Amino acid sequence: MNLLARPEDPLSLFHFLLLIGLSFFLGLAVEEVSLQEKIPGPGGVRTFPVLSLVGLGFFLLDPLYLSVFSVGLLVLGTWLYSYFRSEAANQSHPPSMVSAVSSLLAYLLGPIVIREPSWVSIALVVSSVFFLGTREKLHHLAESVPIPELLTAGKFLLLTGIIFPLLPREILLPSVPVTPYQVWKAVVVVSSLSYATYLAQRFLSPRGSDFLEAILGGFYSSTAATILLSRKGHVQTGREKEINAAIILANSLMYIRILLVLMLLRPAIAQKIGGPLLILFALGVLVAGIVFRWKRSDASYVPDAPGKSGSSGNPLELNSALFFALSYVVISFLTHWVHGTFGVSGVYVLAGVVGFTDIVPFILSLAHSGSAIPLHVILVSTMVAASSNNILKGIYLLIFWRKSAGLPSLLALGGLSAGGILLVFLFRM
């Protein structure tokens, strides 16, 4: 924000009313916090509008150099410091800083309302009130997040913010047709999507919700979700329909995860192959709904023991990120070599093989191949890899469930695999 620019902007009635309304709204929120915490502060529902008007008046006296406004800000900061020093000396516990920080925001609102678009001032006040209103939940979240989780996220952000922009954007090896910038960009996108799901699984997902577990697990790792739910079906009798529906739903969301990754990294490719992916997702959701509604289980539900989690390790850990980057480079090399040596048929065979691993690096290697691999080959290979991955999850289901009760999930996985191949031929025609 450049407060020194556009000194000729007039103060309109809209600006004035917006300033009064926002400062009054902020004052209400601060006063409510002070009453709930029983900690009096230097400001409230009357003081904040007046403070905003004072800041506006000082700004209008010298809108170019902000000399009067700066002196007023210095005086306000000094007074707030003195006030909290005296309050801290007279109380057994330190006073809350909510009123002080909010007072500074109220003083700054006048210039912001005049000089910036309306959404800026509104967003500032609404965001502040949101944080004030959710302080208890935020405190609880901060206390529940382990320090290693924060350190892991910090290291990943450091690598992303410093190393990522400096990576070369040229292909370094002819046999690996991806640049270091593309590799790390894929790591950032995939890890960020997985991390968002990981946080939701760990801190927001209620224990015992099979369908929420399936939704989050499908975005994080449909393979891990299938194994977890299969184990649950093995030990919890009488809930086969719900668990079958959850497994089908988790595997249907795999197609949405693939589409999201492509939309963020290669939107042109995502637009071309998004149709079959969305059709398979809708088909899987429909089958999951039919299985769930066909016959509800009568057995009482036994929730998971506290502390159990279906999520894997933190996807922002450097080992996980580097392993994905290495997988991406190796798969890109193999795709380039197989296509050059065996042609299109070799790529299809490779798609079937990599389906028994993580298919995202393979799909990204196809998407970043440029014009070397035709679009229809990318579509067919994506469907073959996804279908092969469904076969792998069907094998896991047989291993970990070991009951005929998992037959609906097994048939659904087979149907999704066959449907993917069928859609390829339909779209090519």
The residue extents of the domains of the chain are 13-141, 149-428
Hey, what are 203's tokens?
Answer: 């801190």
Do residues 251 and 213 lie in contact, with contact meaning Cβ atoms separated by under 8 Å?
A: no
For residue 173, the cross-strand partners are 176
Hey, what are 416's tokens?
Answer: 């999704």
Distances (CA, A) of 74 to 53, 67, 68, 81, 85: 17, 11, 10, 11, 17
Rounded Cα–Cα distance for residues 320 and 342 (Å): 32
Q: Which residues contact 1 (CB under 8 A, 6 or more apart)?
A: 112, 115, 116, 120
Residue-level pLDDT at 51:
92
Rounded Cα–Cα distance for residues 114 and 12 (Å): 9
Residue-level pLDDT at 2:
46
Hey, what are 70's tokens?
Answer: 């700066």
Dmax over CA atoms of the chain, in Å, equals 82
Rounded Cα–Cα distance for residues 347 and 366 (Å): 10
Sign of dihedral through CA atoms 419, 425, 427, 429? negative
Residues of the chain with pLDDT under 70: 1-10, 37-44, 88, 90-96, 141-142, 145, 201-210, 237, 295-318, 370-371, 403, 427-429
Rounded Cα–Cα distance for residues 163 and 14 (Å): 46
Residue length, the chain? 429
- Token pair 């159990």 is at which residue? 308
Residue-level pLDDT at 275:
87
Residue-level pLDDT at 109:
94
Do residues 284 and 251 lie in contact, with contact meaning Cβ atoms separated by under 8 Å?
A: yes
Residue-level pLDDT at 208:
52
- List phi, psi (to 5°) of 302: -110, 110
Residue-level pLDDT at 4:
44
At position 168, the amino acid (one-letter code) is P
Distances (CA, A) of 322 to 59, 62, 159, 196, 366: 52, 55, 12, 19, 20
Distances (CA, A) of 333 to 24, 39, 174, 337, 339: 61, 63, 9, 6, 10
Residue-level pLDDT at 296:
53
Residue-level pLDDT at 20:
93
Residue-level pLDDT at 40:
62
Do residues 331 and 354 lie in contact, with contact meaning Cβ atoms separated by under 8 Å?
A: yes
Per-residue model confidence as pLDDT tens digits over 355-399: 888 888 898 888 887 667 888 888 889 999 999 999 999 888 888
